[in-house]
Structure 1
Amino acid sequence: MECAIQRMLEEAPYNVHLFIKDPNTNHYFIQEKLHAVFSSASLIKVPILLGVLRYLERYHQDVHQEIRIAPEEWVDYSVISEQRIERSTIYELLVWMIITSDNAATNVLIDFIGMEFLNHYFRQIGLRQTKLQRKMMDFEKLERGIDNLTSANDMAHLFSRIYQQDLLPKQFSKLTIDILSRQRVHESLKRYLVDDVKMAHKTGGLETVEHDVGIVYNGSNDYLIGVFITEVTNNEYAKQLIGRISKSAYEHLVKRKG
């Protein structure tokens, strides 16, 4: 596996950060550019999911409570906006934020608990390079170089703790995995897997980045995988590269042990 993936990295026209990790032993099967910081794109929505649930736990609030969505929060590429929804439960917003990467839902949740709370929570759970600095679709800030950031190391740490279910109360830990497992965007890590694989994951993409990270469940052979590609000029090619790396890992860690 290592040799095959290293060849892919050597031939890749882009900058590739990645990890493949055993969540039970914390052993890295392979790692590349773990500590380099890059634009998180929609990966930032995973720690936001956890941060919102932590906020509800701390202040004894109900995940099914309704909150208002102002029409000015509607943005493009959002099922919330498509439906012109003006009230929604926090639960529904969390689900849409992850499974369709809904930007309107994300922005409403950021406003609900605040960037300061979220960034403090990120640091509290050990994310050293993950920072929320702008809302989704805020291209004005993005043009000024103000972006949301993370690293492969932070994502490896985050998904390890999601897997271990040690960040939140049991019901919220299970809810986190349930929502991530209902992901509807499967153009990268699952791209070339023919088996019906259970994967709790999240994608992220902008014009110059393409990411996918998550947990692959397969009984005793569970593993974590994250592939993060920067300096992208062809997003479709980048998704294909993530798919090839993912297939190589799956065939080595699952098929050969099966």
Structure 2
Amino acid sequence: MRYKPKWTLTGVVIVKQRKRRRRLKKKVKIVLAIIGVFILTLVWITTANKEEEEEMKTNTATEEVETESEKGTDVEVTEKEEEVEKTDETTEAGQALMDKTLEMNASYPGNIGLVLLNKATDEKIEVNADTVFTSASLYKLYVTYAVLTEVDKGNLSLDTTINDQTMATIDDYLRETITVSSNQTAIALANRLGWDVIEKFAQENGFTETTFNTSNENGVILRGTLQTTPSNVADLLNRLMDGTLLSKTSSDYFMGLLVDQQLVYALNTGLSDEVSFAHKTGVLDSVSHDAGIITDSDGQDYIVVVMSDGWTYAYDEATPFFIEMGQSIMDYLSAQ
């Protein structure tokens, strides 16, 4: 065995210790570097979280502002859907009727339209007066107006035969059209004049929201959805009463048809027997209307138009509504 001097062994040990120290320092540096990265990561995450929180606060504030803005828009839409006409001359009784109508409008399906014109005081109460409703049989008021205008012009006569088989006259058909709301006679009269002619006639005479949505199919005029507004119907009745719609003879004749109304399922259910009601009803599954002239025991007249939609089977479902509406109108009349 070869002999190695002590100093040589000691030198090897020293070299090995130095190598260990270098490796240890390297490990320490690596650990410190890892710790540094970890700390930097924590700082970055904390900062990012704070920025995110600030952004969330900003977004939340923005959303709250947008929500308030949307609420404001909803209010505008609601007010638009419930168009209310209130003037400085609105009486306490008028305001009560308006409030009651709005209350019912909120609780019943669909829309409720009301126009009440006090002919003695000119007070007018309107809720959704310009809302377009399906006309149902109220379109027959416009057909009658158009036919009687032709009578006034001398182009037709109430004695004109319209059915050669039955020898029924225009007078017979108008009475059936208004007093019992016959669809057969109303359609025959409309076909006699032309649906498009009556539609154009109505609009040219100021009833601009009233339409039959007619179309021409290969030369045949077809009617579509029949539409009108409470305001248009009230205007027709008001002009009829004022004598500006037709001649005196035709005006009296038209009023007589309304007086002889046989259908009393709507507003009559809530009106008192102390008043008379010359009117025209209109009902389909989804809509129910009543429009006419109420005359109280003192001879004071009121134009009244009530239109409603959103029903499933209106003839039955609308009865409680019309009872309540009629009673509310009676409360107004009693205050006059």
Q: Could you state the TM-score of these two structures normalised by the residue count of structure 2?
A: 0.64
1:20 matched to which residue of 2?
116
Quote the offset at 1:240 in angstroms. 2.5
Query: CA contact under 8 A between 1:97 and 1:103: conserved in structure 2?
Result: yes
Quote the offset at 1:25 in angstroms. 5.0
Partners of 1:56 and 1:99 in 2: CA distance:
19
2:168 matched to which residue of 1?
88
Q: Does 1:205 align with 2:301?
A: no
SS in 2 for 1:147: coil
Report percent identity of matched pairs.
25
Quote the offset at 1:109 in angstroms. 0.5
Partners of 1:34 and 1:49 in 2: CA distance:
22
Partners of 1:233 and 1:118 in 2: CA distance:
30
2:196 matched to which residue of 1?
116
1:44 matched to which residue of 2?
139
Classify 1:214/1:249 alpha carbon distance in 2 versus 1 (closer, same or farther; 3 Å). same
Partners of 1:177 and 1:166 in 2: CA distance:
13
Q: Does 1:59 align with 2:138?
A: no
1:225 matched to which residue of 2?
304
SS in 2 for 1:252: helix
Within the candidate set 296, 306, 323, 1:243 is matched to 323
2:106 matched to which residue of 1?
10
Quote the offset at 1:196 in angstroms. 4.6
Partners of 1:114 and 1:14 in 2: CA distance:
32
Within the candidate set 232, 235, 249, 1:154 is matched to 232
Q: Could you state the TM-score of these two structures normalised by the residue count of structure 1?
A: 0.82
Higher RCO, 1 vs 2 (CA within 8 Å, ≥6 residues apart): 1
Residues matched between the structures, number? 231
Q: Does 1:163 align with 2:241?
A: yes
Query: CA contact under 8 A between 2:270 and 2:325: conserved in structure 1?
Result: no
Query: CA contact under 8 A between 1:17 and 1:228: conserved in structure 2?
Result: yes
User: Structure 2 counterpart of 1:58, which letter?
Assistant: K
CA-to-aligned-CA distance 1:222-253 (integer Å, 9 cap, x gap) = 11111111111241221331231122112321
Partners of 2:173 and 2:320 in 1: CA distance:
30
Q: Does 1:190 align with 2:303?
A: no
Moved over 6 A (4+): none
Partners of 2:312 and 2:186 in 1: CA distance:
26
User: Structure 2 counterpart of 1:213, which letter?
Assistant: A
Within the candidate set 248, 252, 265, 1:174 is matched to 252
Partners of 2:238 and 2:204 in 1: CA distance:
15
SS in 1 for 2:269: coil
Unaligned stretches of 5+ residues in structure 1: 70-84, 135-140
User: Structure 2 counterpart of 1:21, which letter?
Assistant: L
SS in 2 for 1:21: strand
Query: CA contact under 8 A between 2:271 and 2:329: conserved in structure 1?
Result: no
Quote the offset at 1:220 in angstroms. 4.6
Partners of 2:319 and 2:251 in 1: CA distance:
29
Partners of 1:119 and 1:26 in 2: CA distance:
29
Quote the offset at 1:160 in angstroms. 1.0
Partners of 2:243 and 2:192 in 1: CA distance:
25
Q: Root-mean-square deviation (CA), in Å?
A: 2.0
Query: CA contact under 8 A between 2:101 and 2:112: conserved in structure 1?
Result: no
More helix per residue: 2
CA-to-aligned-CA distance 1:189-222 (integer Å, 9 cap, x gap) = 1012241532111111111111111110124531
Query: CA contact under 8 A between 2:102 and 2:127: conserved in structure 1?
Result: no
Query: CA contact under 8 A between 1:208 and 1:232: conserved in structure 2?
Result: yes
CA-to-aligned-CA distance 1:73-124 (integer Å, 9 cap, x gap) = xxxxxxxxxxxx6331100100000011001101110121112331222123
